[in-house]
Amino acid sequence: MKIVLSGKGGVGKTTLCALLAREAASKGYRVLAVDADPNPTLAATFGLSEEPRPLVEFQGLIEERLGSLEGFFRLNPKVDDIPGRFAVRKDGVEILVMGPIRRGGEGCACPQSTFLKSLLQHIVLDRDDLVLLDVEAGLESLGRATVQGVDCLLAVVEPDSKSLLTAGRISRLAQDIGLKNIFAVANKIREPADSKYIQDHLPPELVLLGTLPDSEAIRRAGRERQSCDLTEDPAVHEGIKDLLKRLEAFHGMRRDHGCTCQKGKDDGTNLL
């Protein structure tokens, strides 16, 4: 599976990325979690005391791989060895921090962006890992080829009008660049009214794939820069396990039968 996680800042997409990655690793998956957010915090969410240096800062490596001839550089640099060399391992998960990728319109196709986009394309199209991409709300920086190789996008929302507005924009951007399988995950649910608000206001094209409760254990782990121990919050753990099962079911159906997702019930139980 190749999964993109996106959403408005603060909704918990990076935390969800880390929790899903750890749960998948505990089930025997080989997992690669990629931090492609311009404000990288995935490594800290795993409880790493030191933030890995983003790949975008390895100027010498990038120049070596791209080469240079009178202002031109290679558009297909060698990148297949990068995850093995630069990913750090925690809780059975390989974590790769990329740094920001420039969007179109922010100047020339700079060498750093070319290198990172080539790396993302390799990770999504050529590797057999379960890949989780933690990205910003905008998807333009990923590139059409990368996005078209992704199995699905998870738009993380909370019971707040701004997060749902952002989810709608994410969905439209994803469709514009060719990604068809787009789901929502409701986070930080404290009471039934929160779930109802999301169900009532979720953009109609989104399937609600999973729901996660609000968690003091996760907030405490964030304050202490520790990896969240989900044995302290069984309700969140059950939500993560259920979400992974639904992703597995969706992926199995898509792989074996070429199915595409259809809008189901509000709780996502009829999504296949």
User: Residue 36: which of 104, 131, 129 has the closest Cα?
Assistant: 131
Phi, psi of 195 (to 5 degrees): -60, -45
Phi, psi of 188 (to 5 degrees): 65, 40
Give the separation between CA 154 and CA 265, rounded to whole angstroms.
17
pLDDT tens per residue across all 272 residues of the chain: 999 999 998 999 999 999 999 999 999 999 999 998 888 899 999 999 888 999 988 989 998 898 865 566 777 889 999 999 999 999 999 999 998 765 544 444 578 888 888 999 999 999 999 999 999 877 766 766 677 789 999 999 999 999 999 999 999 988 888 888 999 999 999 999 999 999 999 999 899 999 999 999 999 988 888 888 878 899 999 999 999 999 999 888 766 655 444 333 334 433 33
β partners of residue 5: 134, 154
H/E element holding 20? helix 13-26
Domain ranges of the chain: 2-257
User: Residue 101: which of 121, 127, 76 has the closest Cα?
Assistant: 121
Phi, psi of 271 (to 5 degrees): -80, -15
Q: What top-level class would CATH report for the domain 2-257?
A: alpha beta
Structure tokens at 150: 């992704």
Give the separation between CA 230 and CA 215, rounded to whole angstroms.
10
User: Residue 15: which of 207, 239, 251, 247 has the closest Cα?
Assistant: 239
Question: Is 0.85 topped by the overall pTM?
Answer: yes
Q: What radius of gyration do the chain's Cα atoms show?
A: 18
pLDDT per residue over 162-209, tens digit each? 999 999 999 998 888 888 899 999 999 999 999 999 999 999 989 999
Structure tokens at 219: 């907030």
